[in-house]
Structures are given as structure tokens and as C-alpha cells.
Structure 1
Amino acid sequence: MRDLRRWLGVGLTAALLSGCGAQAEVDAGHAMTGTLLDPPFTVDGATLTTADLVEVDDGSTDWVSSPYSLVDDTDKKLTLVFFGYTHCPDICGIVMSTMASAVSRLDADERSDVDVVFITTDPQRDTPELTDQYATNFDADFIGVSGDLRTIIDVAKPLAISVEQGDKLPSGGYDVTHGTQIVAIDADDEGIAYWSEDVSSAQLAADLQHLLSE
């Protein structure tokens, strides 16, 4: 059974979201499964860190870290953002798989207009390299991002995502409580929509196609 605090954290986030988002609506013949936000979420542009495995001069590969910002580096028409951690025992992998399946349903032009960003909520264990490996295991084009925990919390907060390190587990590790929504950021650096953790890949893909067509 999941830690009670995880459900409390998710419940708090849902309560925050319900106060600032218009409910799913029918627009131009499409019934959104996700929630359109009016007004949109503000996006914090603080600097985090990503890493890429690149080929170096001798033909081998090495990790190269670079700064990443949800404002400066989200140039696609849509950027999907999900906060989680690589040691997550359940929901993170499910949501990541859903996003991977959803973008695979898009055609080539639509796919080129979408980025997917996984931001760790457990940077003590999730280095930029490990976070990128985790993200790209679901899709080679996914982006893994780590950074200072305080900065991650500050970036998550205006997106109505709560992040908190929990108590130690009997195994010696610890739980991490985090909101489980997927948030969409548009090219104007505004959070325009969100989806709950139980959205299906077909529903998410249909919503993305609708948003991309506008």
C-alpha cells in the first residue's frame, strides 16, 4: 500500500488545481480529457541541469551536463512536464509509459512539436546522468532533468506540484512524495493544461493533437 502521505500530497495538489483550472470542455468537436487552465500556470525559469551522452574526439562517449530551464529551453509548441524519481516503486513508471505511448501515436510533424521532460524529485540520488538514462529508457527523445532540491521545489510550486522527501523506509532508502499530474507548457512559457495520473495514452494523444492543431 502506498504511503498515506503520498495520497495526502496528491490530494492537496488536486485541490489546488481544482481552484484554478477550467474543467474539461468541448471545443471544436473535441472533448478534452485533460483540464485547460484559465488563467494559465506561471512557469518558473530557474536553472536546473540535464545531461547528454555524446561522442567525444576519440570516438568514445561521455556525459556532458548543461543547464536546463522550463522557460529558456522549452521552445516546442508543447512541452509535457512530469515530476518523479527513478526509485519510485509505482506511479512514475506508469505515467512515463503513458506519455511514451501517447507521443508514439502522433504523426511525425506532431511529434516534432512536442518535448517531454522528466524532472527528478530526488536529486540526492538522481544525478543528471541517471535521470536522463531513466527518461530515455521510455523514449530516446525524452529529457531528464535534475538539480538542487530547493530549486526543483520552487519550479514545481507554481505548477501546483508538491514535492517532499519522506521518512526512511525499512530498506534503508526513503519515500518521496510528489504530485503526479502531467503539465503542458506552451511556446509562450505558460502552463496551459494538466492531466491526472490515470489518463490513458489514447486520451492524452487525442488531447495533444487537439492542442497542436490550434
Structure 2
Amino acid sequence: MLRTALLSALLAVCGWAAAAWLTHDFQVWTDEGARRLEVALRPVPVPATAVQDSRARSVTLGELLGPQGGGGSGATIVDFFYTHCETVCLSLGSTFQQLQAALQSGPPAGVRLLSISFDGARDDPSALQRYASGLAADERLWRFVRVPDAREQQALLQRLGVVVIPDGRGDYEHNAALLVFDASGRMRRVFDMAEQQLALDYARHLGRSAAP
């Protein structure tokens, strides 16, 4: 009986230790939660990725995220979408419209918005332009780009933890979040769509920190 009790206690301790390791000392219980904690602890540098915007201009993603991307920005809030999406992307578009309105009505914050299509084959510059126009996007604050090269696109999605699964009918299942980058092109935080105010406050904090 004593031997059984000791074995049970040992298994319980091992189970507790495994759970603590898998959940970062019980701070998270999901893959998405673990991703967010990892990003907060170790910011993720964006890979060298060539993108094309709605005016067919080519630039690297690092340049867009940096101060030279426009307006001396210190932070950028990023989402991933595709123009044919009729589900979660509509919510993301609405969220970004609200973020844009907040930036337009408030003081300069050193913050910009960037929407990246993961359907680079279909979302050419004209499609991006139509989509941006439909959302009344102000190009000074909110830009739309695609990644023309499929391999670079996949590498970017993988690096940033963006999950995109083709459904076989021309659409995709994908996770959705607000990714906040600093002016060095590092992903610093990941927020839920419902946490748009937190994302904006944090981006403004980064923007102020980067101001000369």
C-alpha cells in the first residue's frame, strides 16, 4: 500500500511539473495563449519579406514597419486577411476602421495600421485598392499589402504564428489577432480583436517611446 501511495505521489508530482512546463508556470493553457506569452517575453523580428501595396509599389515589410515607412511611425498594428473573406475578416476590417477613427480624432501617436493579405495570388493591387476604398481607409494611416512570392508568404505566416488553412473551396480558415510591431520590425504583442483599445494603447506607448 505504501509503495502504491508513493508511486501515486510521484506521478502527481511529474504531472504537475509537466503541466507547469507546458503552461509557462500555469500562465497559459492554450496554444494561442502560449504564443502571446512567448511574443511578450521574446519579441519576434519580421523576416525579410518583399511586399506590394495597393498602388503596385514594391517595398520590404521591414521598411514599411520602420520609421521610413511613413510619418516617423514608432509602432504599427498589423492584421492578416484576404479580400474574398466574408467572415472574420469583416470583423477585422471593422476593428481597423475603429482604430483608424481613433487615430484620426486623437493627437498624433506615432501609430499606423497595416493589413497584409495572405491570398497573394488573387489579391493583386487593384483588389487591394477596391478593398481599401470599401473600408474608407486613409492611406496616410492604413495601408494594404500582399506578399507576391508564395514561399516568402509561408515563411512570414510561420514566423508570426498566423495559421491559414485552405478549405478547398477557395476560402480559408485562419486565426485572427492584432499584432503590434515596433519601429525595428519586431512583433512585441498579440491582442484579441476584442482588445483593440489595449492594442492601441500599447502601440501608442511604443510610439511615444520611439519619439526623438
Matches within 5 A, 1:8-47: 14=32, 17-18=35-36, 20-21=38-39, 37-47=40-50
Counterpart of 1:48, as a letter, is V
Query: Which blocks of at least 5 consecutive residues in structure 1 are unaligned?
Result: 1-11, 22-36, 53-64, 169-173
TM-score of the two chains, using structure 1 as the length reference: 0.69
Contact 1:131 1:144 in 2 (8 A): yes
The equivalent residue for 1:68 is 59
Query: Which blocks of at least 5 consecutive residues in structure 2 are unaligned?
Result: 1-29, 68-72
Q: Does 1:140 align with 2:138?
A: yes
The equivalent residue for 1:208 is 203
Q: Tell me how far apart the structure 1 counterparts of residues 206 and 198 of structure 2 sit (CA, whole Å).
A: 12
Shift of 1:187: 0.8
Shift of 1:136: 4.4
Matches within 5 A, 1:59-208: 65-74=56-65, 75=67, 76-106=73-103, 107-110=106-109, 113-138=110-135, 139-141=137-139, 142-146=142-146, 147-168=148-169, 174-200=170-196, 202-208=197-203
| Larger-Rg structure | 2
Counterpart of 1:109, as a letter, is P
> RMSD across aligned C-alpha pairs, in angstroms?
2.4
The equivalent residue for 1:8 is none
Greater percentage in strand: 1
Q: Compared with structure 1, are the counterparts of its residues 207 and 136 closer, same or farther at alpha carbon in structure 2 (3 Å cutoff)?
A: farther
Shift of 1:19: 5.3
Q: Compared with structure 1, are the counterparts of its residues 48 and 136 closer, same or farther at alpha carbon in structure 2 (3 Å cutoff)?
A: same
Count of paired positions: 169
Q: Compared with structure 1, are the counterparts of its residues 99 and 38 closer, same or farther at alpha carbon in structure 2 (3 Å cutoff)?
A: same
Which contiguous aligned blocks of 4+ residues in structure 1 show a shift greater than 6 angstroms?
A: none
Q: Compared with structure 1, are the counterparts of its residues 19 and 115 closer, same or farther at alpha carbon in structure 2 (3 Å cutoff)?
A: closer
Q: Tell me how far apart the structure 2 counterparts of residues 207 and 40 of structure 1 sit (CA, whole Å).
A: 14
Per-residue displacement from partner, 1:61-82 (whole Å, max 9, x unpaired)?
Answer: xxxx221322122222111111
TM-score of the two chains, using structure 2 as the length reference: 0.70
Q: Tell me how far apart the structure 2 counterparts of residues 187 and 212 of structure 1 sit (CA, whole Å).
A: 8
Q: Tell me how far apart the structure 2 counterparts of residues 208 and 140 of structure 1 sit (CA, whole Å).
A: 18
Shift of 1:18: 4.3
Contact 2:128 2:145 in 1 (8 A): yes
Shift of 1:199: 2.5
